Amino acid sequence: MNLTSDEEKLLSGEGGEGLQKAMEIIVSIGDINDAPRLIPVERVQISGVSYKTIGDAGLEFLQDLVGLGAKTSVYSTLNPAGIDLEQKNSDVPARFVEKQGEILRAYESLGATPSCTCTPYLAGNKPGFGEHIAFAESSAVAYANSALGARTNRESAITALASAITGKTPLYGLHLDENRGPTLKVNVNEQVKSAFDYSALGYYIGKHFDETPIFKGIQPGVEGLKALSAGLATGKVSLFHIEGVTPNTVGDVSSLETFEYTGAERKTVTEDLNTCDDPDILCIGCPHCTLAEIKQVIDANPKKEVWVYTSRAVQKQLGEKIKNPNIRLISDTCMVVQPLEEMGIGSLGTNSTKCAYYTRNLSGLDVKFDNMENLLKK
């Protein structure tokens, strides 16, 4: 890879050991991917924030970087942590709370903004069309690339952090025009309206295709785009197009292979993800809820306990106090990166394929996957 003389100096340690380490990471990723050079990024979303996902090894890595004097050089926000920072978290093991605090202090010493959400684009870190960025949260990667027309590869926790420190990323993959066009047409012949429907559609396509789909027959708003992004990203898809909705140019798609999505495909997703009928709690907000989704839960006046996850930024926009004691509004964390299995929860109901997939596979919980109306009715 060709580096500028300034980049060479940083790589040789002239900017300090922390910056040198971050440059080494970025340059090695660029070499592996045959990137010709580095490009500047305007913003970063860092994953690897919960103690549940990074553990002691991740905490030590962050503390080492702090010790080496590393600092973020561009606006960088954080993915959900393992706890709600403004609640007592008395149901979370004390050691977990303590370690989580150390992780967040390390990130803040590095200069990251502790927004602790997977929807940075709803909480002040929203890229513009054509912006080169480095996002690590997979659902936000798909949303930023597709709904907003920004450009990012699916970064890991470490490469996103290295980009946050250097302000750079290697030029390869989805930063390049030639890798952004659609490679599969998906005709949606099933009614797809709710977040549950979009989540199932995304999950099915992401699980069965390693392609860049262009969808025909759907008109999602923000909630649908968010759910579709997370569903697709639970598989391998980090960029998609929707005729008449997403802003990227797509060119001639007439010769692409076409896939027909019908009720039969949707049914396989539901069958695949359901393992129980009467979950302990309901979890809404994967990815984190918009204001409209929170209001939908409040209006349904649920009789079962519902944990509603959102960003601190969106929670602050909610002018009303929630009167229904069954609704627990939670920020800074999510049901997947919270240690739910250590908090006495054995099963949950969700309208999100990503939540269903990961709470089953990472936390060993049973799952009821259904649309929000049905879940809240019970």
Residues forming contacts to ligand F3S in the complex (CB under 6 A) are 79-80, 118, 139, 230, 286-288, 309, 334, 336-337, 354-355, 358
* CB-nearer residue toward ligand F3S: 148 or 184: 148
In the complex, the smallest distance separating the C-beta of residue 227 from ligand F3S, rounded to whole angstroms, is 10
> Measured in Å, how far apart are the chain's first and last C-alpha atoms?
58
* CB-nearer residue toward ligand F3S: 26 or 284: 284
Q: What distances in angstroms separate CA 325 from CA 57, 214, 254, 303, one per listed residue? A: 38, 43, 54, 9
In the complex, the smallest distance separating the C-beta of residue 142 from ligand F3S, rounded to whole angstroms, is 10
* CB-nearer residue toward ligand F3S: 62 or 336: 336
User: Which 8-state DSSP code applies to residue 323?
Assistant: -
In the complex, the smallest distance separating the C-beta of residue 147 from ligand F3S, rounded to whole angstroms, is 14
In the complex, the smallest distance separating the C-beta of residue 348 from ligand F3S, rounded to whole angstroms, is 12
In the complex, the smallest distance separating the C-beta of residue 134 from ligand F3S, rounded to whole angstroms, is 17
In the complex, the smallest distance separating the C-beta of residue 91 from ligand F3S, rounded to whole angstroms, is 18
* CB-nearer residue toward ligand F3S: 207 or 288: 288
In the complex, the smallest distance separating the C-beta of residue 362 from ligand F3S, rounded to whole angstroms, is 9
Q: What distances in angstroms separate CA 358 from CA 58, 158, 231, 305, 352, one per listed residue? A: 20, 21, 11, 21, 10
In the complex, the smallest distance separating the C-beta of residue 66 from ligand F3S, rounded to whole angstroms, is 24
* CB-nearer residue toward ligand F3S: 286 or 294: 286
Which structure tokens are listed for 173? 């993959």
Please state whether the peptide bond connecting residue 80 to the residue before it is cis, i.e. omega within 30 degrees of 0: no
Q: Which of 335, 327, 276, 338 is nearest to 304 (CA)?
A: 327
Which structure tokens are listed for 155? 């970064």
Per the document, the length of the chain is 378
β-strands 43-46, 134-135 pairing: parallel
- Element (H or E) spanning 329, and its range? strand 327-331
* CB-nearer residue toward ligand F3S: 73 or 290: 290
* CB-nearer residue toward ligand F3S: 30 or 231: 231
| Cα torsion angle, 299, 92, 369, 268, sign | positive
Q: What distances in angstroms separate CA 209 from CA 55, 203, 262, 310, 361, one per listed residue? A: 32, 10, 16, 30, 21
* CB-nearer residue toward ligand F3S: 79 or 153: 79
Give me the residues paired with residue 330 across strands: 309
